[in-house]
Amino acid sequence: MPPTSHYRNIQCTDNKHLFVAYDDDYRPQALLNIKGKVTASLKDFDKVEAWLYSDGFFPVLKNDQVGYINEQGKLVVPTIYDNLIDPNNKYNEVWANPVYQGKIVVVKDGAYGVIDTNNKVILSFENNYAMMDFFSNDRAPVYDFNTELWGLIDTNGKEVVAPQYDGLDGHLGGHYGFHEGLLGVIKDDKWGFVTKTGAVAVPFIYDEIRPFSEQLAGVRKGNRWGFIDGANRTVIPFKFSDDKVQRMSVTSFGATYFNFNNGTAQIEEKSDGTSVCINKLGKIVACSEW
């Protein structure tokens, strides 16, 4: 629960003792403690997103340049890095990557690299990667300019899985990254899951996938969806029609479907807008609150 304060718009962070206050136009105003006391002013910045707080740091935006502050509001990485939003992609609203174990994937003058929270360069911006994703599970996916394939680097910028994947599992505006230790990737037009070492955990046999959630992943074969576990065992049979998936922008082309949350997963949406959900036994149940 946000603390009592004269600010009307307050958002929680992953730190239960730290909050971000905004004005009526959602411009950042201040960091607050659990008692609602201002601990740092944020008025110098154009954007500070509470949900991007990670590892004790926030990305900040000023004059369309990205930097990072700590929990005391001190600017530890100067606002010199590129805004990540692609102006040609109206679905992408992520303008900066979160900090992961003290490391950050950033872009400078259009080139990707890795820095730490002291602004020390870990992976030079002069590399073969035309694109890099955020860190998760000690890895960041990288897109090689020469091969036009995806591989993985570790938090020290070392390539640990050579570029070999055609694409990453994701939705309009971004990728999912590792979930429950597995990353969804595509190879030769079929989807599967790999570990952070590149070992194939789920073979490349599916036409569409969702990230693992609550130990299960929604996967599609042909026109039917089912659920598998991390060893590719079918847990819920392939009996849910893809025809029932609403593939509109508001659902990121079906990205909200076949993901478990609090024990239920959406499988379709009725014409009246009512969501239909199942439990882990594949039985129709009331949908859980997100």
Residues 212, 232 contacting (CB under 8 angstroms): no
Spatial distance between the Cα atoms of 122 and 138, rounded to a whole number of angstroms: 14
Using DSSP's 3-state secondary structure scheme, residue 244 falls into: helix
| Rg of the chain taking only CA atoms, in angstroms | 21
- Residues paired with residue 170 on neighbouring β-strands, in sequence order: 175
Backbone angles phi, psi at 250, to 5 degrees: -65, -20
3-state secondary structure of 243: helix
Q: Which residues pair with 58 in a beta bridge?
A: 69
Q: Whole-model pTM?
A: 0.88
Per residue of the chain (290 residues), give pLDDT as tens: 788 888 989 999 999 999 999 999 999 999 999 999 999 999 999 999 999 999 999 999 999 999 999 999 999 999 999 999 977 766 667 899 999 999 999 999 999 999 999 999 999 999 999 999 999 999 999 999 999 999 999 999 999 999 999 999 876 556 789 999 999 999 999 999 999 999 999 999 999 999 999 999 999 999 999 999 999 999 999 999 998 887 664 444 557 789 999 999 999 988 887 889 999 999 999 998 76
- Return the amino acid letter for 209: I
Single out the residue of 177, 165, 97 nearest to residue 138, CA to CA. 177
| φ/ψ (deg, to 5) at 51 | -75, -15
Is the C-alpha dihedral spanning 158, 160, 166, 172 positive or negative? negative
| Reduced 3-state DSSP string for 13-73 | CCCCCCEEEECCCCCEEEEECCCCCEEEECCCCCEECHHHCECCEEEEEECCEEEEEECCC
Token representation of residue 261? 């949350």
Domain locations along the chain: 170-290
